[in-house]
Every structure is written in structure tokens, then in C-alpha cells.
Amino acid sequence: MSWDMPFIWRNRARKPPTPSPLQAFKGASVLEIRDNYLGDTYRAIYTVKFHEVVYVLHAFQKKSKKGVATPKNEIDLIERRLRKAKEHHDQNHAQ
């Protein structure tokens, strides 16, 4: 059995997680998907802000057991990557 088989079967057995806007970014251009696996919480952050392109900005395991807020250092990293995604989009996909 390959390492990803439990993940594949697990996701077939239930509804996929629903994306929601990441609160720190005011609006719906930066979204987050949260999922739990074996007692740990994982998050994937992406943006649909740019025409015809989806950029995955960050994916990480949430370490803190208290509160649901995304840690500031993670928000700072996402902001930097969002700026780089805009630069990349402007250079390669601008109409």
C-alpha cells in the first residue's frame, strides 16, 4: 500500500472541507481549507484573486491547541507570497 492510500480512502468516505475566507485578508480573495487528520489540524491557503489562475500560497499544520486564529508569522508569509503571486501574474498572465 502506498503512503497516500489512507488519505485517498478517508476522503472518499466523507464530504470534502469547505473553503472559507481567511479573516486576516478582509474579503474573499484569499481562502483557506481546514482539515483534521489523526488529531492534527492542517490548513491550505490559496487565492482566486487573479483571472484564470489559482495560486496556493501556503499549507501548514496548525501547532497551537488554543484558539483558531492563524499565527502572525504565517499571515506575514502568506502576505509575502500573495505579493509574489501578483508579480508573477502581472508578468505572465496580464491581458
Which residues contact residue 48 at a Cβ distance below 8 angstroms, ignoring those fewer than 6 apart?
A: 29, 31, 54
pLDDT digits (tens, 9 = 90+) for 21-70: 988 888 888 999 988 888 888 899 999 998 889 999 999 888 776 777 78
64 against 86, higher pLDDT: 86
- The CA distance from 10 to 37, in Å, is 9
- ∠ CA 43-66-55, nearest 5°, is 15
pTM: 0.76
